Structure 1
Amino acid sequence: MWHFASFGAPGVLVYLCFVLAPILISFGYSLTNYNPFNPPVKFVGFDNYRLLFTDEQFLTALEVTTILTLVVVIVPNVLGLGVALLLDRKGWLYNALRSVFFTPVILSSVVVSIVWSRLLDDQGPLNTVLRSLGVEHPPGWLSDPDVALYSVASIVCWQMLGFCVVVYLAGLQGVPQELLEAAEIDGAGPLRRFRAVTWPLLAPSLTINTVVLLISAFKTYDYVKVITNGGPGSGATATIAFDVLQTGFDSNHVGYASAMAVLMLVIVAVVTTVVLGFLRRREVDL
């Protein structure tokens, strides 16, 4: 036991200090009205949690986060699978294209946000091109409350696309060629071979991509902070993670922000568990 404990202790200590302890401390703060600039600290029980369900700002952030998560989970999965099918070939050109598609993944999200905010500015290159093509009033990609959220979601999708492509490529390369050849001999066309052979064997890849995208999208903060700062208008792109940081560090309502963070953790844990369980059962059924 001591032998195994000596190997496991460092990892366990890191987990306790940097994961479990902050969660417990945040939960403790969430039961108080803690404000570092407005003592004393009072125990308020679950009042902060009850207030969340009547807080229009939080409910709006929950809606924004849900929409962004749905877009980020669906779009890169669909496009990533399509691109992976096109790149599942041998040759230097396809190897180079794989690198091109994966490059955005390794870039800093802040750098990506700055570049795209310049491209999508009202006077930026994209709208300049649209005006030159005769569009008198091009969309306000980041200034229109009805469009800004989908613009931010598109930027997240663009950066995460390469990750999905790589995971699906790995899954495609694990499909036994014997099964595809047997299906072809039986008269199955390309679509039938994909539906009956390739797609079922890509179930683990779909699980990985969906769970990673779900968690990444639900805790989106940096894109919103850099590109729109929660605007335009009243929280049109403000996610829950953005509201947590704003409430805790700008407004100094640490107790209330902690309640938001704990609730976000619970939502992510529950949704991820449900999705993961469903996708794993699908893998077994297939």
Structure 2
Amino acid sequence: MTIVEEGAVVRGGAAPGSKARTGRRSPWPGLRHFLSFGAPGLLVYACFVLAPILLSVGYSFTNANQFQPRTRFTGFENYIGLLTDDAFLTALKVTTILTLIVVIAPNLGGLAVALLLDRRGRLYYALRGVFFVPVVLSSVVVSVVWQAMLTDGGLVDTLLCTLGVTALPGWLSDPDLALYSVGFIMSWQMLGFCTVVYLAGLQGVPQELHEAAALDGAGSWLRFRKVTWPMLAPALTINTVMLLITGFKTYDHIQVLTAGGPGTGTTATVAFSIIQTGFTANRTGEASAMAILMLVIVAVISSVALRLLQRREEEL
């Protein structure tokens, strides 16, 4: 063993005052990192997502009621009752119609607006921001503004009267029209989201493909159908799945605009019925069964839609 000088590293052995390394590795090398970074997020997720779902599952098999202190196990009684309940089936029908409107209209409108704004220039950049503003606004704010505009004698009726229209429809008071008015408002709010996603997809289309198609004699429509539209498959997938979830969980627009009316349940969605059953009628067990049943429906439909759209992307 040779020592170079005072303070130098000792060759052939450990340095004075230092601990020799044993070479052992921790049996759980990632455990410390998980506890430091992953555990807090997982704990929050478990407390605010998993725990409420598990509690709802438990309540759904009981007759829990805030004014009935004795709670008993009822099995699948709540679920069987919902499948034969006309009010719940009507709410499910209303939710389905509203979801179809919210999925189709913003997708078509967003694609059209994205094609118009897919240009360079300050004006087009400013218009992109304008179209995206409704997305960042609260649904309650949007509903209040549109309610003031669509109410009888509101701004829309005033403009129609100015144009000479005498037979004014009840946008939110007509049972045959109220649901479609709500669908229009939600579609208007989500239009900017679809526009931004489609714009991102359009800017990812290689310009060389358009130039090659143009040299082959393809017109604008043929270039869109054969080049642009297949490249927008991922954007369509994102928009469709997001709009599906948005449509099925609609509550705040209904609460502000129509409160489930006009009439009895003409615009009451499943989410609206859950709140009314659980917090107004205090039938916690029945409301929990409705929530779990809706969770299963949304999960299945979203998974099927996602799988079909992803398969379409692979085929294209």
Runs of 4+ that moved beyond 3 A = none
Partner SS, residue 271 of structure 2: helix
Question: Which of the numbers 67, 75, 81 marks the counterpart of 2:105?
Answer: 75
Number of the residue aligned with 2:75: 45
TM-score, structure 2 as length reference? 0.89
Alignment of 1:129-148 (within 5 A): 129-148=159-178
- CA distance in 2 between counterparts of 1:134 and 1:93 reads 34
How far 1:271 sits from its partner (Å)? 0.1
Aligned alpha-carbon RMSD (Å):
0.8
1:188 and 2:215 aligned: no
1:209 and 2:220 aligned: no
Partner SS, residue 252 of structure 1: coil
- CA distance in 1 between counterparts of 2:77 and 2:139 reads 35
Partner SS, residue 260 of structure 2: coil
Alignment of 1:113-192 (within 5 A): 113-192=143-222
Question: Which of the numbers 122, 132, 143 marks the counterpart of 1:102?
Answer: 132
How far 1:37 sits from its partner (Å)? 1.6
- Percent identity, please: 67
Question: Which of the numbers 25, 32, 35 marks the counterpart of 1:3?
Answer: 32
Partner SS, residue 181 of structure 1: helix
- CA distance in 1 between counterparts of 2:223 and 2:213 reads 6
Farther-moved stretch of structure 1 (41-50 vs 1-10) = 1-10
How far 1:137 sits from its partner (Å)? 2.2
How far 1:228 sits from its partner (Å)? 0.4
Farther-moved stretch of structure 1 (75-84 vs 16-25) = 16-25
Partner SS, residue 212 of structure 2: helix
Number of the residue aligned with 2:43: 13
Number of the residue aligned with 1:199: 229
| Counterpart code for 1:12 | L
Partner SS, residue 67 of structure 2: coil
- CA distance in 2 between counterparts of 1:203 and 1:194 reads 13
| Counterpart code for 1:256 | E
- CA distance in 1 between counterparts of 2:216 and 2:198 reads 26
Aligned residues: 286
How far 1:231 sits from its partner (Å)? 0.2
- CA distance in 2 between counterparts of 1:181 and 1:11 reads 48
* Structure 2 gap ranges (5+): 1-29
- CA distance in 2 between counterparts of 1:190 and 1:4 reads 54
How far 1:8 sits from its partner (Å)? 1.7
Q: 1:222-271: per-residue Cα shift (whole Å, max 9, x none)?
A: 00000100000011100000000000000000000000000000000000
Farther-moved stretch of structure 1 (269-278 vs 173-182) = 173-182
Q: 1:14-56: per-residue Cα shift (whole Å, max 9, x none)?
A: 2211111111100100000001221200110000000001111
Question: Which of the numbers 236, 255, 259 marks the counterpart of 2:285?
Answer: 255
Q: 1:146-204: per-residue Cα shift (whole Å, max 9, x none)?
A: 00000001000000000000000000000011111111111111111111111001000
- CA distance in 1 between counterparts of 2:191 and 2:166 reads 32
Alignment of 1:13-32 (within 5 A): 13-32=43-62
Number of the residue aligned with 2:296: 266
Farther-moved stretch of structure 1 (261-270 vs 5-14) = 5-14
Farther-moved stretch of structure 1 (127-136 vs 217-226) = 127-136
- CA distance in 2 between counterparts of 1:192 and 1:129 reads 40
How far 1:3 sits from its partner (Å)? 3.2
| Counterpart code for 1:43 | F
How far 1:134 sits from its partner (Å)? 2.5
Partner SS, residue 232 of structure 1: coil
How far 1:132 sits from its partner (Å)? 2.8
Structure number with higher relative contact order (C-alpha < 8 Å, ≥ 6 residues apart):
1
How far 1:95 sits from its partner (Å)? 0.3
TM-score, structure 1 as length reference? 0.99
